[in-house]
Structure 1
């Protein structure tokens, strides 16, 4: 390592060279079109219209059911979601790595770069904006699912830039934190979608919106991420400074100076073209955008209804699977035995309704598995 120059390290770290070393085709094209950089859809729509690349398992919990969502093939997709984004919706992603990815050596950085460019990246973000309903303005909070094609040239070059900055700090023996920020890109796309119908609160009919996006960032570090609480420019921190001004005047300058001396902080604001992830398969793009606006500008999503849809689909899948097993196990294959009208088989009757499953969630013995095909 000591004999290698910085140029040699960066050349060995080149994403192009890593791509040439891949033994199997990248899986991005199997999940999203190579020409698309970023796909975005509401989280509720992602859960109820789960793509083929994911599985959903309903599990008993207190006081209600929860959904566990995983990639069908764990090595196909990188899931990086901030944990507090999912708590209110009773969602679990077992493969979730979180927003902070640790990398302390050159080899770890190379391994991380390989993973980032060979798999799509799944994130969940929270957006806040103003929308008009019934002649009144409301503060809307929406959760979006974001699928990022890390193989796209525009994104790949920006990822390489951020990772090389971290590599320089590692070789110089420094602590570092590289933030790959997608928030501004998502907010810009959302403004474009909603501005067409003038659903956002504006000032003098301009395009100055009250819109905030958070959670769409990755931090690659060998120590910790920068604490935005000490940055007066960060959203929401001005109020904290106003109420805690004496303490902030003492602690914030000390933290900022110490951080700049000991840690190399880098921020890469990713820019790429985004598009709506149409999981409902609308006939035209215009219908898809109208559908998206109705979700974003309507009432807040009732997640009890989302789970009811999941339970119904899980029940249908289970009944279908049991019917196929009975047909295959029957000694008279192809002959269906008749039953009195209004009766049901005992195996079908033991499937509780959604309301019963919620009330008895602690007694549900077997989880329902949903994998759309």
Structure 2
């Protein structure tokens, strides 16, 4: 195979290539150690390193080298921009990429370019890449009335956030304004999760944490937060326009997310969201879902392999709209981590957008989630009055 590089050029290419991948190796080791994350290190160095690799790959005709470099560049770019939030699960991906780059070096060094095949690693990167798309199908699948309410609520909550900023810039800081900002961010986070709009979810989630810390007086208001709100308001407005116009948008969130985290993170701040009151679901049918003989058999089959059984009760706020949509979201969230054995109202009723009144119950099995884990998952959905998760013995 013609590499596109002459023998003389290869003598220059290989040392430069090795220098880059050795630097990348060191950066990956730093990530794997956990020190990089604790130090809140940015991903700029990785991005620049990969950017150099992309430039070098352009000189070759090696398809896998070009594709691997391009995918890695997109991966690191999304981490830099905040479109992807760092997760320790990405460490094995980076390690596999590093090993692939060293294998490619060996193939070039031994003039065995024709045998380069890194399709598995390329596929691995693509599996974790997240292109932030606001797909029209996410809202088009809704009932027209539900869709209209959803889009109106989305607009309203962004407007509430914007109006709160106007009041704060006038020096009218008070508990009600801070609470409105917190509730807006919390609700927007739930809406973003519903339509899988990751940039909106990431921004709303960080704003929610900042305003929660303010609401609970764990941090003090500062003028820097006005700058954060101003920048966030502009971003939220752009995101809303993209949703309404059914188009995809690209948002550079790295800077604003870092500013927000710096504003609320301190030794005294607990960023866990305790805004959901955990209490018995009094307005739902009394007692847990009844175990029929058929359900009991299903439960026993699941428990044979371990795990735990849970009764989950969720109560909506009185003003909650689109209850059936939110129930459907619960189903999607819970199914990713376990098995839904039974629901009340039934899953068919939920899917048919009927008989969803003040709340919903689940009989649920999970191999590895505890009560707190389940509450955190459900808390992704906004406008909830209470969540109760109880371990059930059979």
- The normalised TM-score by structure 1 is 0.20
Q: State TM-score, norm by structure 2.
A: 0.19
Query: Which has a greater percent of strand?
Result: 1
- The answer to which structure, 1 or 2, has the higher relative contact order (CA under 8 A, 6+ apart) is 1
- Structure whose residues are more often helix by fraction: 2
